[in-house]
Amino acid sequence: MNLPPLLKLAAETVSVRRLLINRFTILIAVVLVASVAAQGYVAANNDGYVTGRVVDGDGDPVANANVTLSPQTVAGVPDPQSTTTDENGAFEFRDQSLLEFTIRAEHEESESETHRYHLYFKGQNKEVNLVIE
């Protein structure tokens, strides 16, 4: 089959092999794969759970400790949320769409340091361990 000269020239200059080896094509493919992977990670970790444990200085769990989560926003200071730990010192806050928050625990006369966290995306799951001294 005879191709017109212009089509023959176009076919020779842009071959599939040449297109695949082109560094710009490779860059676009890498960016696309990274973007899909990042979106998959976010989708798998955006339940909005803030979980953790409260322990004493010896590492033993502290039951019935009061844990306070305070959202930090530019628009004001929303009301803090509180929960108590179970017999294993575990606590959980669900359905949080926070980017930044502080958290602390207190039990009887003792309390933990106040920890401030900044998340990478809204609803990111975060595990926090608090030590009451």
Range of the domain at 68: 50-132
Q: How confident is the model at residue 55 (pLDDT cuts 50, 70, 90)?
A: very high
Indicate whether 15 and 58 sit together in one domain: no
DSSP-assigned letters across all residues of 55-113: EETTS-B-TT-EEEEEE--SS--PPPEEEE--TTSEEEE-S---SEEEEEEEETTEEPP
Say which amino acid occupies 56.
Answer: D
pLDDT above 90: residue 38: no
Determine what percent of the chain is predicted with pLDDT higher than 70.
86
**Residue among 115, 118, 68, 128 nearest 98 (CA):** 118
96 and 59 part of one domain:
yes
Q: What is the pTM of this model?
A: 0.68
Is the pLDDT score of 49 beyond 70? Answer: yes
Domain count, the chain: 2
Q: Indicate if 76 and 122 belong to the same structural domain.
A: yes
Q: Please provide the average confidence, as pLDDT, over all residues in the chain.
A: 85
Q: What is the predicted pLDDT for the residue at 32?
A: 94
Give the percent of the chain with pLDDT over 90.
45
Enter the tokens of residue 111. Answer: 């309390």
